[in-house]
Every structure is written in C-alpha cells, then in structure tokens.
Amino acid sequence: MVIAKIAPSLLSSDFARLAEECERMLSLGADYLHMDVMDGHFVPNLTLGAPIIKCLRPHTKGFLDCHLMVSNPEQWVDDFASAGADLFCFHIEATKDASALIDDIHAKGMKAGMAIKPDTPVDVVYEFAEKLDQVLVMTVEPGFGGQSFMPACMDKVRELRKRYPNLDIEVDGGLDPENIEVAAKAGANVIVAGSSIFKAKSPEAVISLFRKTVNDAQPSA
C-alpha cells in the first residue's frame, strides 16, 4: 500500500526567495520539493540546474525531487548527487541505456525516477520498473507550467498501479482540486502541483485536500 506524497513544484515559486519558498511549502505540509530542471534543448524552456540545488541544499532538509527534462541526463548524475539531490528523475526518451543510468543514480546515493511524456507508451517502463524508486507520468507536455491536465494519461497510471501496487507513481501537469480525484482513483500517489498550490488562497488547504483524496482512494488493507 502506498501513501500520498505531495510535491509542490517550485517552478511556480518566487525564485528570488527560493529557500524561503521551500521552507514555506514544508511548513504547510508538503512531503517533497519538486525541482523542474530544463535545458532549453530537450524542452523549449530553461530553468534551474545543479548549482542552484547545491546552493539550496544547506537551507532545507526537504526531499529534493529533481525532474530532469534534459538531453543526455547521464552527464548530470555526478553534479546532482554532489549538489544534494535526493531523487534524480530522467526521461526515458532522453537516454539510450536506462538500466545503466538507473544503476549510476543509485551508486551515487540518489533515488531513481523515470518520466514518460504524454505520447510515450507506458510499456517502455516495464523492463525497468523493479529497479525504479518512482515513475513519473507526465499529464502535460513537459517544458512549461500552467498547462491543462490531460486525463487520457490516467490509463497509464491505472496500468502501472495494477502491475506494481507498491510503486510510487507520480503525476505532474495541471493537477488541481477539480481533477485530483481522477488521478487518485487511477492510482497516482505522488502529486506534483505548481500553480494550483502557489496561487491558491490557502496553499495549505490544497495540500491537505490532495493528501486526503489520494489516501482515501487507496484500497483497504
């Protein structure tokens, strides 16, 4: 049985106050701090990288869930491990040897996650699932915040949950109080949300709602 883990996306935070924003989210009940790493090549946007993670690490004990939307993720494993990342999530579409990459991530002391884009079939994950700590099913096209949730992606979540009942399954993109139940019932337990948390009148209430909805959707023991 899995439990809810709520991961505010710091892409929606005030970057000028990043450390404060991280601590604020943790104080409001967040479990993970989701860090969107974009290289301007794999996706058409450019955000933070390992140097910022390294600067942030001394200021927070939060779990840094780093989602690398980058080409050639292999080249960044050492840098993110040294920077203090807790989880290194790469895109299957960006690597030629996912198994070796997972092994390298683990060898460097990080948890390993694999992400798939909306058009990527879920069966590409199966070969590696037993080695992974988390699978991220993108519910928007990676690269920009503020996009609309794609409910068709929930078929992938349902299939993953059926096959791997104890796997952490993360969803990222357009999650809000209106669609969280759809994601939770499909089997997602790690919820990434940016705008719907940071722009809410009460971010704490949204985090609490997400957690309750996910935990309520879990099968009874």
pLDDT tens for each residue of 153-172: 999 999 999 999 999 999 99
pTM: 0.96
Nearest CA to 35 out of 214, 169, 194 is that of 194
pLDDT tens for each residue of 75-117: 999 999 999 999 999 999 999 999 999 999 999 999 999 999 9
pLDDT over 50 at 62, yes or no = yes
- Opening angle at CA 90, ends 86 and 94, nearest 5: 160
Within 13 Å of residue 29, how many CA atoms lie on the same side as its CB?
A: 16
- Contact by Cβ (8 Å): 115, 87: no
pLDDT over 60 at 221, yes or no = no
Catalytic residue among 36, 39, 86, 104: 36
Catalytic residue among 31, 133, 168, 172: 172
Task: Judge: domain 5-216, CATH 3.20.20.70.
Answer: yes
pLDDT score at 154:
97
SS (H, E, C) the chain: CCCCEEEEEHHHCCHHHHHHHHHHHHHCCCCEEEEEEEECCCCCCECCCHHHHHHHHHHCCCEEEEEEECCCHHHHHHHHHHHCCCEEEEEHHHCCCHHHHHHHHHHCCCEEEEEECCCCCHHHCCCCHHHCCEEEEECCCCCCCCCCCCHHHHHHHHHHHHHCCCCEEEEECCCCCCCHHHHHHHCCCEEEECHHHHCCCCHHHHHHHHHHHHHHCCCCC
Distance CA 9, CA 198 (A): 9
- Residue 216 is a catalytic residue: no
Mean pLDDT computed over every residue of the chain: 96
- Residue 36 is a catalytic residue: yes
pLDDT band for position 220 (cuts 50, 70, 90): low
Q: Which residues pair with 134 in a beta bridge?
A: 113, 168
Phi/psi at 59 (5° precision): -100, 0
